[in-house]
Amino acid sequence: MRRIFLMTALFVYSFMGPLLSAQEQDIHLMFKQTEIKGTRHEFLAEMKSKGFVPLNNESAEMSGQFAGYAVAVTTDVTPLTETVYQVCARLEPKSSWKEAEDDYAVFKTNLTRKYGEPAIAKEQFHSPYRKGDGYELKAAANGKVEYISCWILPAGEITIQVVSGGRDFRLLIRYADAAGRELQEAEKTEIFLRDL
């Protein structure tokens, strides 16, 4: 009887295990070999131990090295428990489209090498703009450029995207932890329902 129970439990878990949320499984996405979890203070302390420095005393923004590039890092936290659920790294601005596109290609190649093909990949200019026409910055400022790739993993999502900084281009690398996002949504709902 015990053997049948164990076999049944193993069979059920083999099908239900993958259906459990990331929060229930307690798995977290990693940024610079650090799990994206805990309070902002705890996470930033861990980043400090890896050589990141705060940009000022009041800021949750830090600068440091990531994959050999100088970056500024920001964190997003949940509204009630202030648990980190997302980390965004911004590479230094580039004055030319070619430089930004090269950075994008380096990260896309290496993320693909590590995680496989992205679930989403869009690399296009929209009319009236074209890559190489000399108006890439204007196209980006007008929302006419989509250079974005996203890897959807059990622990969360990693997204890279070229954005316009007004007079330059930047590559953003966003790590969104699935368990943290679930917590963020639950806390937002709790606040909403409390206010009703």
Tokens of 194: 């409390």
Residue 18 domain-assigned?
no
Residue 81 domain-assigned?
yes
Residue 15 domain-assigned?
no
Residue 13 domain-assigned?
no
Share of the chain above pLDDT 90, in %: 74
| Domain count across the chain | 1
Residue 2 domain-assigned?
no
This prediction's pTM: 0.84
The tens digit of pLDDT for each residue in 36-69 reads 999 999 999 999 999 999 987 766 899 999 999 9
CA dist., res. 28 & res. 34, Å (int): 9
Query: Of 138 and 63, which is predicted with more confidence?
Result: 63
Residue 12 domain-assigned?
no
Residue 112 domain-assigned?
yes
Q: Supply the range of the domain harboring residue 177.
A: 37-195
Query: Of 22 and 127, which is predicted with more confidence?
Result: 127
Query: Of 137 and 189, which is predicted with more confidence?
Result: 189
Sequence-ordered list of residues with C-beta below 8 angstroms from that of 97, at least 6 positions apart, any chain: 131, 136, 137, 169
CA dist., res. 149 & res. 159, Å (int): 6
Q: Is the pLDDT of residue 25 over 70?
A: no
Q: Nearest-CA neighbor of 173 among 183, 187, 159?
A: 159
Residue 31 domain-assigned?
no
